Amino acid sequence: MRSFVLASAAVVATSTSPHHVPNKVLMFKEFKETYSRHYATEFEEGMRFRIFSENVDKIYTSNAQNKSYTLGVTANADRTFNEWKADHLHGFKPTLSAEKKNHARFTAPKDFAEPDSIDWTTKGGVTEVKNQGTCGSCWTFSATGALEGAMFVAGRPLQDLGNQHILACDKGSSGCKGGSMDQAFDWVSKNGMPSLKTEPYLCVDGTSAECTGMTCKTEAASDLVLAVGDVVKHTDVDTTENALEAAVAQQPVSVAIEADQDVFQHYTSGVLTNDACGSTLDHGVLAVGYGTDGGKQYWKVKNSWGTTFGENGYIRIEKGSASDGGECGIRKMASFPTVKAASADVIV
């Protein structure tokens, strides 16, 4: 990810030197250069420096506690938590229990023996990290990622799907104001889906004319990567840890988490612990694996905030310590689609 050496080194240094005092003026100068910040007035620059300074204090204080995760100076360091939250967390709307009653339910098979680790990014089943920008479209990126993974395990070529098509056409959702992965799976099964190349994402700036004025494009059958009926079904995952392990072992899985905590604004690496978040779901992401680091179990999660977030666009969330719904609520509303095999020779 983009970073500047002096600031990053200084922040990490607090893990061993809690009394180190950072040169915030120099850090802010380098921050502005790194992220091309240009403020309209001296007053605004002074205000942003004050916010930056307060965020650096939070980062230093957290890192000095030698936690299993690290915070750092990112592109969000000159923004208040409320400003950051307003842009990033207004996209996931949980599916109501009544709407889920007829969904298939996945539990771990009786003979399931979970692998020690799994990572679909190294298996070739995950496309590159995307950036939703200021549109509340996380649910479309989560659903698209799960559909891409389902295509891969069905023996189809891995390719980027056009979540813009869901965003503009799925009238059962609220577009940039939110939706659910279940809703997206149902919509794609009935309508199909083009590639990202055919229909690029328009809403990095959720207030732009091209985003607010987006229209649903009716795709010709030849332009659809997933044809009508290619998505056979989608399945809800039981809330037990064993069930989500078994589901992720077979394919990438759409999950929801609570991300409206300031640790997400500054997270750069490591395993985020349950005490840093809650379980009130507000953000759709993609579970692409799990493993162990330094004795701490984790879920590997693909986010949709660009590659400058976290570990090149990913975050690792603690696994195995929370009994009710999982860490950050990750087990509360997991689901995955099933896609038809590429040919009769491939068994799904």
SS3 of the chain: CCCCHHHHHHHHHCCCCCCCCCCHHHHHHHHHHHCCCCCCCHHHHHHHHHHHHHHHHHHHHHHCCCCCEEECCCCCCCCCHHHHHHHHCCCECCCCHHHHCCCEEECCCCCCCCCCCEEHHHHCCCCCCCECCCCCCHHHHHHHHHHHHHHHHCCCCCCCECHHHHHHHCCCCCHHHCECHHHHHHHHHHHCEEECCCCCCCCCCCCCHHHHCCCCCCCCHHHEEECCCCEEEEEEECCCHHHHHHHHHHCCEEEEECCCCHHHHHEEEEEECHHHCCCCCCEEEEEEEEEEECCEEEEEEECCECCCCCECCEEEEECCCCCCCCHHHCCCCCEEEEECCCCCCCCC
Predicted confidence at residue 101, as pLDDT, reads: 59
Task: Give the lowest-confidence range in 7-21, 110-124, 241-255.
Answer: 7-21
**Which residue is associated with the tokens 């506690």?**
65
pLDDT tens-digit profile of 101-114?
A: 567 799 999 888 88
Provide, rounded to the nearest whole percent, the portion of the chain with pLDDT above 70. Answer: 89
pLDDT at 46 over 60: yes
Residues with catalytic function:
138, 283, 303
324: number of Cβ within 10 Å: 9
Average pLDDT of span 40-66: 96
- Mean pLDDT to the nearest integer, 1-16: 41
Contact 148, 334 (CB under 8 A): no
Which of 86-90, 93-97, 181-185, 272-276 has the least mean pLDDT? 93-97
**Rounded mean pLDDT, 191-197:** 94
- Residue 96 is predicted with a pLDDT of 58
pLDDT in tens, 184-193: 999 999 999 9
Question: Cα separation of 225 and 243, whole Å?
Answer: 30
Confidence of residue 174 (pLDDT cuts 50, 70, 90): confident
Does residue 6 carry a pLDDT above 70? no
pLDDT digits (tens, 9 = 90+) for 240-269: 999 999 999 999 999 999 999 999 999 999
Q: Round to whole Å and give the CA distance between 163 and 138.
A: 10
Q: pTM of the prediction?
A: 0.90
State the Cα–Cα distance between residues 86 and 3, nearest whole angstrom. 24
Residue 66 tokens read as 């030698």
pLDDT of residue 99: 57
- In the chain the domains, ranked by start, together with CATH numbers, are 5-79 (1.10.287.2250), 87-339 (3.90.70.10)
Residue-level pLDDT at 321: 78
**Residue 97: per-residue pLDDT:** 53
pLDDT of residue 41 exceeding 80? yes
Q: What percent of the chain has pLDDT over 90?
A: 77
Which of 1-10, 218-227, 294-303 has the largest mean confidence?
Answer: 294-303
Strand-pairing partners, residue 235, are 104, 336
Least confident segment among 130-134, 152-156, 171-175: 171-175
For the stretch 139-152, pLDDT in tens is: 999 999 999 999 99
Residue 166 confidence (pLDDT) above 60: yes
Would you say residue 182 has pLDDT above 70? yes
Rounded distance, CA 256 to CA 313, Å? 16
What pLDDT sits at residue 248?
Answer: 98
